[in-house]
Structure 1
Amino acid sequence: MKIALLGYGRMGQTIEQIAISRGHDIVIKTSSNTGYNIKEADVAIDFSIPNAAFNNISNCLNNDVPVISGTTGWLDKYNEAVSLCEKNKGAFIYASNFSLGVNIFFELNEILAKMMTKLDDYKVDIEEIHHTKKLDAPSGTAITLAEGVIKNHSQYSNWKLDESTENILPITAKRIPDVPGTHIITYKSDIDTIKIEHEAHSRQGFALGAVIAAEWIIGKTGVFTMKDVLNIG
Structure 2
Amino acid sequence: MSADEHDNNDSEDQGLPDSGHHLSEEEVERALASFEAEFNEGQNQADQPVGHTESGVADEAGLDSGPADESSVEPDEADGVAADFDQELEGLIGNRAKAAVMVTRLASAELLAAFCQISDISAWCIQAREGAVAVLRNLDGDGPEAAIRDLTTVVSGLSAILAVNRADKLEVTLWISGQSGQTLAPPILFAATADFVEDLMIGTTTVDRLRQDGAAIFDSGEYNREKAMGIIASHTRFGAGGSTRQGRVE
Fold-level similarity (TM above 0.5)? no
Where is the helix percentage greater, Structure 1 or Structure 2?
Answer: 2
Query: Of the two, which has the highest radius of gyration?
Result: 2
Higher relative contact order (CA 8 A, sep 6+): 1
Where is the strand percentage greater, Structure 1 or Structure 2?
Answer: 1
Q: TM-score, normalized by length of structure 2?
A: 0.22
